[in-house]
Structure 1
Amino acid sequence: MSSTLFKCSILIFMAALLSACAATTPQIIPTLKPTATATFTPSPTFTREPELTPSATAPPPTATRGPSPTPLFRPTITPQGTIPPTRVLDPNAPRIEFFEAEANAVAPGDTFNVFWSVRNVNNAVIYRLDAQGNREALWNVEPAGTQAIPTRRRDRGQINLLLVASRGNIEVQQPLTVLLECPIPWFFAPAPDTCPTDPAIQTRMLESPFERGRMIYVQERDRIYTLFNDGREPAWVAFQNRYDPAVHDEIDPNFVPPTGYYQPRGILGFIWRANDTVRNRLGLVVGLEYAIAYEGFFQTATNTAGDEVLYISSADGGVIQLEPGGIVWELIPPP
């Protein structure tokens, strides 16, 4: 207890002492006079960007567009102030109002009528044209009327007409075509577009196949048709039969062909042995030693130039077409 009182007395004494000092002697704290001091303010600095080296940069892919659709009908733009010219028809100019036939097709040998009407002309003529378009017959006619046109039994294909009307040096024309029916049937099918000239003829035939073509004998015509397939010209040739079995040998006994090949005999062999070109282009007979004998047909037609086209039955059931002039031949396979 006494110890505690002693400690409190000490504390009270010290507090009184400090209060007395503070009252009598003021505490002075020295203060430095402020001095103007430069303050460093950082200036903005320019930072240089690194130089860029240009490099080849592939352009972005461009989509390829397809062709732009073209409109079927485009608007016609007429510049302002421009008036399209108007075609003025001369009512007094020569003109053909119509030129017609009473039938689209007629039989060869029959007669058919044509009708026409023309205006503002001094004369009118109807021409018949040949296969080449040349004027071969004419009828001087009135500006309007009817005209009978005859045909020939040998006519094939079509009849071509031309109406020509004129006044002074002004001329107008109009063609007209009338088809000809086929009065004669073909001996094979499918039939050609043209009509046959005559009925088919049945006759005995001989045929041999060769290395590079074939030979066919037509008894009714007594001719040998030699057909080449070596790509050279002519593509085919025909020979008149000159073989006489009483005088000429059937074969050449001194010629021995290789195994599997034969020399042609009789009618065909006579041409083959006598003509070096035929022999060299055809080669030897292949497959059969003897020619095939059969009953066949042949029939002809006329092309647009008026030349004969020949059709011959083949031993294999097809038909051989021989174009005029030996230009080309074709095998029409059986149906």
Structure 2
Amino acid sequence: MHLAWQANGQRAELCPLIGTGPTNCQDVPLAGEQDFVIDELALTYIGFALRVYAPEASGMRTVELHPQCQDLRPWFFSDPPLRCPAQEALTSYAASQHFERGLMIWVEETDEFYVFYHEPDDQGFQVVQRTVGLELKPGASEDNRIGEEPPPGLYEPVSGFGLIWRGEVEWPYPDNVRERLGWATVPESGYDTAYQCSTPAYPRLWNCFLLGPDGEVYHLRPDSTAGVRILWQEW
């Protein structure tokens, strides 16, 4: 990548831009040009800034940068985002089960459980709940059942999905999974999944992608830097 600039003042700095602002600034002439190699670190840049200092004032001009992935690492799916993946795709055996109003996925390699809700929450967000492993409440067991007969053509989930559905696990979410998901519409089944995240441009604003049981790709991201919710949409 080639940068050229010209400014009036006493001195100037050229700085890569990341989500939080300028970083790794270096002194440069007031007029000049420079070539940059887009390496692994530069994939996190969102632009460059030229800071100019004068006796009475200082100023800054910026230019946007959109580094694109050119065979550094492949995405596991077609039509991916422009940014490079942060790592090779994690591939794993997985289990899934569709429900009346959502979907559950378990990824064996990371022991992560995902609960996708089709209907928005009370704040209007389409959320996915995620937990690593299952911490069981007293009396919890995969053999437990709710004691109700599912309607014809529907199923009560079992194994780890059943534990979450019945509210038998300790996790940082309300125990209303069963109410929100409804009954399962198919039995639990296995498939091969993949998981991959893009190189972040802003701290704590990640974008990750999970392969679903029917070949669909789910885009996961936090609702803010605070990460109160994880939002999802089909890519």
Normalising by structure 2, report the TM-score. Answer: 0.78
The reply to whether residue 207 of structure 1 matches residue 96 of structure 2 is yes
Q: 2:13 aligns with which of 108, 125, 135?
A: 125
Q: 1:320 aligns with which of 218, 221, 226?
A: 218
- SS of residue in 2 equivalent to 1:308: coil
Q: Which amino acid aligns with 2:105?
A: I
The reply to whether residue 299 of structure 1 matches residue 196 of structure 2 is yes
Give distance in 2, aligned partners of 1:181 and 1:274.
Answer: 44
2:108 alignment counterpart: 219
Runs of at least 5 residues in structure 2 that lack an aligned partner in the other structure:
169-174
Q: Which amino acid aligns with 1:242?
A: L
Find the structure with the greater CA-based Rg.
1
1:269 alignment counterpart: 162
Q: 2:153 aligns with which of 249, 260, 276?
A: 260
**More divergent stretch after superposition (265-274 vs 205-214):** 265-274
Per-residue CA distance 1:135-155 (angstroms, 9 max, x = gap): 222112233345565765254
Per-residue CA distance 1:113-166 (angstroms, 9 max, x = gap): x443434x211111222124x222211223334556576525436441111223
2:183 alignment counterpart: 284
2:171 alignment counterpart: none
- SS of residue in 2 equivalent to 1:226: strand
1:46 alignment counterpart: none
For 1:72-111, what aligned pairs fall within 5 Å after superposition?
A: 101-102=1-2
Give distance in 2, aligned partners of 1:152 and 1:255.
Answer: 58
Give distance in 2, aligned partners of 1:124 and 1:253.
Answer: 70
Normalising by structure 1, report the TM-score. Answer: 0.57
- SS of residue in 1 equivalent to 2:162: helix
The reply to whether residue 241 of structure 1 matches residue 140 of structure 2 is no
- SS of residue in 2 equivalent to 1:196: coil
User: Segments of 4+ in structure 1 off by > 6 A?
Assistant: none
Give distance in 2, aligned partners of 1:141 and 1:216.
Answer: 52
The reply to whether residue 331 of structure 1 matches residue 234 of structure 2 is yes
Cα displacement (A) at 1:239: 1.6
**More divergent stretch after superposition (215-224 vs 248-257):** 248-257
Give distance in 1, aligned partners of 2:4 and 2:41.
Answer: 25
The alignment's C-alpha RMSD in Å is: 2.7
The share of aligned pairs that are identical, in percent, is 25
Give distance in 1, aligned partners of 2:41 and 2:188.
Answer: 36
2:62 alignment counterpart: 175
Partners of 2:11 and 2:29 within 8 A in 1: yes
For 1:186-201, what aligned pairs fall within 5 Å after superposition?
A: 186-201=75-90
- SS of residue in 2 equivalent to 1:137: coil
Give distance in 1, aligned partners of 2:104 and 2:6.
Answer: 57
Give distance in 1, aligned partners of 2:217 and 2:182.
Answer: 23
Structure scoring higher RCO (CA < 8 A, sep ≥ 6) equals 2
Q: 2:208 aligns with which of 295, 310, 324?
A: 310
Structure ranking higher in helix proportion: 1
Per-residue CA distance 1:96-124 (angstroms, 9 max, x = gap): xxxxx52xxxxxxxxxxx443434x2111
